[in-house]
A and B are shown apart, each in its own frame.
Chain A
Amino acid sequence: MIQQISDAELEIMKIIWGNPEAVTLFSYIMDGLAARGKPCQKNTLIVLLSRLINKGFLRAKKIGRHNEYTTLVSEAQYQTVQTRNFLDKIYEGSAKGLVSTLIMGDLLADEEYEELKRLLEKGKG
């Protein structure tokens, strides 16, 4: 069961997910937040990271004076769970409702629409 995380926490997770390295260092996250225009205090980040650890999203390994963070939940896993929650809440679990809203609401760009179509065909086959 994947827990809910706050926006600030998600921001941090995105940085870690975006890191091509297997492990992420504290300073990498700090820099990433600054690059996204959301700098914060060192202790604030520590508090947020420890919440993520408690929620089972991250594991911290102490190497010398540094903490190395590894993700326990992948971005795809998180997205799936979140979407399911979203579907349950808004569309009573119906994916069709969601897709039709996307199409009807003109929320999809043309290329996206084509790609989705291809994906659907493939899924059928």
Chain B
Amino acid sequence: MNTVLKIFLSMSISGSLLILVLLLAKRFLKEKISRQWQYYIWLIVILRLLLPFGSERTLLGKTYQAVDQAITQSVPSPKQQPAPNATRSGFAPAIKDNENPNSLEENLTIAYPLQDSKMLVINHIWLAIALGMLIRKITIYQGFIQYIKAGWNPISDTEILDQLSIVAKQAGIKKPIELCVNPLVSSPLLIGFFRPCIVLPSADISKKNFCYIVLHELMHYKRRDMFYKWLVQVVVCLHWFNPFVHLMNREITKACEFSCDEAVLSKMGRENAQDYGKTLLDAMAAVGRYKESLGAVTLSENKQLLKERLGAIMNFKKKSKTIQLLTGVLTLCIIVGASFVGVYPVAAAVEVPSSTNMEQLLPSQSDNELMADDSPVMETLDFRGKTYYLVHNETQLRAIGTGQYGMDQNYMQQADIWLSADEWVPIGTWDNPFTGTYTGNGFEIIGLTMTDPNAEIIGLFGVAQNAHIYNITLQDYDIVDAGQNVANKSVGAILAIGRWVRCYDNFVYPKETNVNHEDASSQIEQYYKDNSLPLFQMAFGSLDEKEQGKWLDRIYTDNRIAFWGTAIGVLDEDCALIQRYAEKTYANDSIAYFSALAMYMSDETLEVWLDRALEDKNTWFQSVLFNALDRDDEFDKLEEKQEKEWAEARMAEYGAVGVTIDGKNYYYQGQLVNIFLDIVQRDQSFYTLDMNPKGTINIKIIRDTDNKITGVIDMTEEEVTKLLGDMGD
């Protein structure tokens, strides 16, 4: 297959997919979404069908390659030779070819000197048919124009011409529009790309009908529907072999009229919908008379379309904001879809070596077999300017980062690797991070095990920087027990800690632990007692809401904050349990417990709580909530303000009982205070204690149960000793 044709076929297939998606979407959304959108959205499909660009990673890229391979295998071309080395060199020109998609034609002759002549013939046939169709379409159009021009009569009635000019002005068209009558046309139509001319079947129509008809045609002109139509015709000619494209052509023609009707109505207003519909019917009645000889099929089809159009006109209403939003989202989806559905992956193959085409590059199977199962020596493979070490077994995998197999090298896995139960040592450390490339190539690494309770970094890769880690499949790994004793451990099945690492297309499947859902409740008890946080978390996650509630109650009562955080971690954001315990912990002033919950609240919920905390003047909760909302600076300001207020209130309060404050010095009845103590009664947790060695008296503020200051007394010797003793502790 030659590349141009391949790219073209893939574009055609991608386009067909999009067409199918749109047709399907139309079924559901016909009435709900603006007709304009339904019309212009096809442009994306047309672009997909015309432009051979796609995003780097495409949905169908691999499929195309697979198909490609199947074809190459079934049709052995002369350049394929049995020797394994030749496969490599045979592929090389293809890669070179791919790098330069812009000059494909040129490369074609260089890269495929022995190209199957059959393919060239196919290529030529395709082009010839496309060109032929296009020429035919153009001549038919020219003939039609001549036919119309031959029998037309320019309308010379200035009144009608004036009407046309006024309607055109209203529609926002500056160009003068020619107006003609030709009794041979079946319905009003617009011809001419740059010098527009409206052709009417007859000038004998009511003023109202004239306005509607002309406005409809003017809308076609204003929206440049002629260009759109011809763009579609070009696509149809190029993709002549694709029935979906012909289907699309029909859909666009329909959508064109629908959206034009919609544009007219949005100009004229909904109240005129009925009149407009009648005009359409009148116009169509004439068609019926004229086209009778053309056979019943066209006629009924037209009637069907007319029925739909009338329905749409009567249902016309301006689309709501929601629909507009939905439309926007949908458009985005389709655009993204269009770019991701992809073409034959020219660019993709260069940028990201995918497993399929890499397998072609492997040394032949017999080479693999020659190697001992546990050989630590890695073969190398040069691939696109990079040298890869080939990883076949556990010994080799574990050897990464030792000797010549440096952290900065490139590695490519070549087989499924079963690891022994020996403790896995993550590749890359803080001192020596992994900086190379590792591609799993779609192979699996099975049974990675880490159990060291003191491990701080847990994962296949430990620390990586500027690395490229992809296409790894991790099966049955077991790392739950690792790092139990470490508070700040870093865990990631593939990679624990990464900076500027490209890490993608990896799949992880943890080992099924023996936690059974049936006996989870009995197990969880054990984990709780054993202080095993990870296992507790897993078991907790499998409980139902009621059980989870019970456990949260218990943890709360037992005051085991670590378990609290672990348990909350498996709950969904804003779920009922979170709400319930937020209420409870807020009421109990359990700041730490509340802050754990706050981490699993949505911003909206946090805002609600913040409002509440602000209203309750609950500074500590405010602090937590501001922090959770990432608005610390706001809290700092608020706190500053509150402290100032508080200090002022305090001054006033103290002043009332004869205590004055001057800078850092407290005075009572004119005497400098040595020890000043003010305990807020509520929970004894707030107190002011000030000691000034220069002072001469020791005083204590007396408060009643409502925290009101009732008086000042001198502290007894005993009290002072006790206080100072406490401090000493």
A residues bordering B, Cβ < 8 Å? 6-9, 38, 40-44, 46-48, 50-51
Contact, CB under 8 Å: B161 / A40: yes
Known: A7-B156, A9-B156. A40 touches B178 (CB 8 A): no
B176 at the interface (CB under 8 A from A): yes
Among B165-173, B395-403, B677-685, B704-712, the stretch that binds chain A is B165-173
Contacts of A40 in B (CB 8 A): 158, 161-162, 165
Contacts of A42 in B (CB 8 A): 165
Nearest CB of chain B from residue A59's CB, rounded to whole Å: 18
Contacts of A8 in B (CB 8 A): 156-158, 161
Nearest CB of chain B from residue A11's CB, rounded to whole Å: 8
Contacts of B166 in A (CB 8 A): 41
B154 at the interface (CB under 8 A from A): yes
**5 A-B residue pairings within 8 Å (CB atoms):** A8-B161, A41-B162, A42-B165, A43-B165, A43-B175
Contacts of A9 in B (CB 8 A): 156
Contact, CB under 8 Å: B154 / A6: yes
B179 at the interface (CB under 8 A from A): yes
A7→B154 CA distance, assembly (Å): 12
Contacts of B189 in A (CB 8 A): none
A-B contact count (CB 8 A): 45
A46-B176, A47-B176 known; 17 new pairs, CB 8 Å cut-off, are A6-B154, A7-B156, A8-B157, A38-B158, A40-B165, A41-B165, A41-B169, A42-B165, A43-B165, A43-B169, A43-B176, A44-B161, A44-B162, A47-B161, A47-B177, A48-B158, A50-B176
Q: Which residue of A lies closest to B197 (CB)?
A: A47
Against A, the Cβ 8 Å flags (1 = close, 0 = not) of B229-257 are 00000000000000000000000000000
Nearest CB of chain A from residue B5's CB, rounded to whole Å: 48
Against A, the Cβ 8 Å flags (1 = close, 0 = not) of B133-172 are 0000000000000000000001011100110111011000
Contact, CB under 8 Å: B154 / A51: yes
Nearest CB of chain A from residue B175's CB, rounded to whole Å: 8
Contact, CB under 8 Å: B177 / A43: yes
A7→B176 CA distance, assembly (Å): 20
Contacts of A51 in B (CB 8 A): 154, 178
Number of interface residues of B (CB under 8 A): 16
Q: Which residue of B lies closest to A33 (CB)?
A: B158
Nearest CB of chain A from residue B195's CB, rounded to whole Å: 8
Q: Which residue of B lies closest to A51 (CB)?
A: B154
A6→B203 CA distance, assembly (Å): 15
Nearest CB of chain A from residue B373's CB, rounded to whole Å: 88
Contacts of A41 in B (CB 8 A): 161-162, 165-166, 169
Contact, CB under 8 Å: B154 / A43: no
Contacts of B178 in A (CB 8 A): 47, 50-51
Contacts of B157 in A (CB 8 A): 8
A40→B175 CA distance, assembly (Å): 16
Contacts of A48 in B (CB 8 A): 156, 158, 161
Q: Which residue of B lies closest to A46 (CB)?
A: B176
A30→B401 CA distance, assembly (Å): 90
Contacts of A6 in B (CB 8 A): 154, 156
A67→B211 CA distance, assembly (Å): 30
A7→B168 CA distance, assembly (Å): 24
Nearest CB of chain A from residue B222's CB, rounded to whole Å: 14
A47→B179 CA distance, assembly (Å): 9
Contact, CB under 8 Å: B168 / A43: yes
Q: Which residue of B lies closest to A55 (CB)?
A: B154
Q: Which residue of A lies closest to B157 (CB)?
A: A8
Contacts of B177 in A (CB 8 A): 43, 47
A50→B177 CA distance, assembly (Å): 11
Nearest CB of chain B from residue A64's CB, rounded to whole Å: 18
Nearest CB of chain B from residue A88's CB, rounded to whole Å: 22
A41→B164 CA distance, assembly (Å): 9
Contacts of B162 in A (CB 8 A): 40-41, 44
Nearest CB of chain B from residue A46's CB, rounded to whole Å: 4
Contacts of B161 in A (CB 8 A): 8, 40-41, 44, 47-48
